């Protein structure tokens, strides 16, 4: 474990970064990388490399990697592809530790000449004793030391416990952007592209032992060593949830993957079998990936899918009660009847005007009274038949029957019960005609670490995946 952590220290926690391909032209990729590091507040040394400049962006520039007087942990290469091998020779001379090749146009373009150059890149890495990320990738994001993902003006995510391994740079940015919006907090992230040296399994092997990482997500287009992947995946799921999104599952998708990163993809049947075997959590798209990771990040370990549904916070939730029960039941979740004393307690609350109170609980117009909401939540939370509470809120309907201030007071009660941590609470906020208030409420709940989903279906699927993982984990590992 310690050996692996030491090996990846200069990759995810470099003390210095040299950027080859910087210039006074701010549109250049290398310059954009340098500016991103400066804006994010990276505290290590940054060395712009340009043989024709003494200073770039307020930093002293150097003509080459080997001319830097200090040690160099991490090199970003953003030069035309015909110059890359020469840069690597300079890295060998300097004895750098990691090289990230942003430059594209190698094996993935399907030309023998450049596929051979990519093989030469790998040989240079072995000769120089350094590791390579890429080529054709945007590299790492390390929020704990303020390294953003790739070039450009990108917001640094909040540091946390979710590690991401992503073959695609574009999808890595989408995962990051979605994660920032949903308050997913990242430990480390990497886009590794063609993987001529370091590949997905190497990064997964590190995240498996990284003490900062508690949940691992991966977008993969291929795996070169199936046996090794199986071993690492089993090691991951013995201690951490592992959420996998496989690209190139169809014949058409596999053809596109080959032109994207030069990947050769296994069949969907094989992948499904492998992921089931290791208890990994399979997802089909970025929405599922963010939903499931959010659930693993914010919800405790759950072995029971006994859900209390709260509906009708404004104009009656009879229909919501029916379809929500159907959705949860179809996914293997339970909507248990509440204890008789809980139901009697709900019926005795002055202001509730519905008969749907045994679960789902339709608060109807009674939710306009914060006293009603408080008493109902207290009863439901204390019912032993309930393991988790899902509150469904239609903001436009809520604002039809009450003021913004009254809606905020109602939501503050849900927040208060969520903060108690007696039982996890999930908020479902459907997009609609009151987007400003809905977004404001969503942000408030997410800041408090309470997961928010745009539909009951997505919330229920995430909860079901979480319960399946932990139940299977308990059966396998006790």
Q: Which CATH architecture has domain 157-298?
A: 3-Layer(aba) Sandwich (3.40)
Distant-in-sequence, close-in-space partners of 281: CB < 8 Å, separation ≥ 6: 241, 242, 243, 244, 275, 292, 465, 468, 469
Question: What does the pLDDT read at residue 221?
Answer: 87
Question: What does the pLDDT read at residue 105?
Answer: 94
DSSP 8-state code for residue 367: G
Question: What does the pLDDT read at residue 248?
Answer: 63
One fold for 2-133 and 307-475: yes
Question: What does the pLDDT read at residue 369?
Answer: 77
399-405, Cβ contacts within 8 angstroms, sequence gap of 24 or more? 399/434, 399/437, 400/314, 400/315, 401/314, 401/315, 401/365, 401/368, 402/314, 402/368, 404/437
The residues facing 392 across adjacent strands are 428
Residue 152, phi-psi category: left (phi > 0), alpha (psi -120 to 50), beta (remainder): left
Largest CA distance in the chain: 81
Question: What does the pLDDT read at residue 138?
Answer: 95
Q: Which CATH class is domain 307-475?
A: alpha beta
Contact 185, 162 (CB under 8 A): yes
pLDDT of the chain, 478 residues: tens digit per residue: 799 999 999 999 999 999 999 998 888 899 999 999 999 999 999 999 999 999 999 999 999 999 999 999 999 999 999 999 999 999 999 999 999 999 999 999 999 999 999 999 999 999 999 999 999 999 999 999 999 999 987 789 999 999 999 999 999 999 999 999 999 999 999 999 999 999 999 999 999 999 999 999 999 988 888 889 999 999 999 999 999 999 865 554 444 444 444 444 567 788 888 899 999 999 999 999 999 999 999 999 999 999 999 987 766 667 888 899 999 999 999 999 999 999 999 988 877 766 677 899 988 765 567 888 899 999 999 999 999 999 999 988 888 888 899 889 999 999 999 998 789 999 999 998 899 999 999 999 999 999 999 999 999 999 999 999 999 999 999 7
**DSSP characters over 179-193:** HHHTT--EEEEEE-T
Question: What does the pLDDT read at residue 426?
Answer: 97
The residues facing 76 across adjacent strands are 19, 100
Residue 440 token pair:
């404001």
Contact 169, 135 (CB under 8 A): no
> Is there a cis peptide before residue 463, judged by omega within 30 degrees of 0?
no
Quick one: which of 94, 266, 131 has its CA closest to 205?
Answer: 131
Q: How far apart are CA 149 and CA 140, in angstroms?
A: 6
CATH number of 2-133: 3.40.50.720
pTM of the predicted model as reported, rounded to 2 decimal places: 0.93
Contact 35, 48 (CB under 8 A): no
Question: 444 in helix, strand or coil?
Answer: helix
Contact 179, 443 (CB under 8 A): no
Contact 96, 118 (CB under 8 A): no
Of all helices (H) and strands (E), which one includes residue 161?
A: strand 159-166
Q: Whose structure tokens read 């090289």? A: 99
Quick one: which of 390, 405, 391 has its CA closest to 437?
Answer: 405
| Domain locations in the chain as residue ranges | 2-133, 157-298, 307-475
Q: Whose structure tokens read 């890295």? A: 91
Exposed (0-12), middle (13-18) or buried (19+): which is 339, by Cβ within 10 Å? middle
Q: Work out the number of other CB atoms within 10 angstroms of the CB of residue 68.
A: 19
């Amino acid at each position: 474990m310690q050996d692996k952590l030491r090996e990846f220290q200069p990759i995810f926690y470099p003390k210095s970064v040299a950027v080859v391909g910087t210039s006074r032209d701010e549109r250049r990729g290398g310059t954009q990388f340098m500016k991103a590091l400066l804006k994010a507040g990276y505290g290590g040394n940054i060395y712009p490399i340009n043989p024709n400049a003494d200073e770039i962006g307020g930093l002293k520039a150097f003509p080459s990697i080997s001319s830097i007087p200090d040690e160099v942990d991490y090199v970003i290469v953003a030069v035309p592809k015909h110059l890359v091998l020469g840069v690597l020779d300079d890295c060998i001379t300097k004895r750098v530790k990691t090289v990230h090749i942003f430059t594209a146009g190698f094996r993935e373009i399907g030309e023998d000449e450049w596929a051979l150059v990519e093989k030469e890149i790998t040989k240079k890495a072995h000769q120089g004793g350094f590791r390579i990320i890429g080529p054709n990738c945007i590299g790492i994001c390390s929020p704990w030391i303020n390294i953003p993902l790739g070039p450009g003006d990108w917001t640094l995510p909040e540091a946390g416990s979710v590690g991401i391994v992503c073959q695609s740079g574009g999808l890595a940015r989408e995962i990051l952007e979605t994660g920032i919006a949903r308050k997913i907090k990242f430990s480390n992230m990497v886009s590794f592209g063609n993987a001529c040296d370091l590949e997905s399994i190497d990064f997964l092997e590190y995240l498996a032992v990284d003490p900062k990482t508690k949940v691992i997500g991966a977008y993969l287009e291929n795996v070169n060593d199936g046996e090794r992947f199986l071993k690492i995946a089993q090691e991951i799921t013995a201690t951490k949830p592992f959420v996998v999104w496989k690209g190139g599952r169809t014949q058409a998708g596999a053809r596109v993957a080959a032109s994207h990163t030069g990947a050769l993809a296994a069949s969907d049947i094989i992948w499904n079998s492998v992921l089931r075997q290791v208890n990994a959590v399979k997802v089909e798209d970025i929405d599922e990936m963010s939903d499931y990771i959010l659930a693993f990040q914010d919800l405790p370990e759950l072995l029971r899918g006994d859900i209390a549904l709260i509906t009708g916070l404004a104009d009656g939730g009879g229909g919501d009660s029916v379809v929500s029960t159907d959705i949860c039941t179809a996914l293997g979740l339970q909507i248990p009847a509440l204890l008789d004393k809980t139901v009697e307690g709900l019926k005795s609350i002055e202001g509730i005007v519905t008969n749907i109170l045994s679960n789902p609980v339709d608060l109807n117009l009674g939710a306009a009274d914060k006293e009603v909401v408080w008493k109902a939540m207290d009863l439901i939370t204390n019912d032993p038949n309930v393991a988790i509470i899902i509150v469904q809120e239609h903001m436009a309907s809520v604002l039809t029957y009450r003021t913004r201030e009254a809606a905020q007071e109602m939501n503050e009660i849900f927040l208060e019960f969520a903060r108690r941590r007696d039982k996890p609470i999930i908020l479902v906020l459907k997009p609609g005609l009151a987007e400003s208030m809905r977004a404001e409420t969503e942000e408030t709940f997410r800041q408090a670490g309470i997961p928010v989903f745009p539909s009951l279906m997505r919330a229920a699927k995430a909860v079901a995946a979480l319960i399946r993982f932990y139940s299977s984990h308990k059966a396998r590992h006790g």
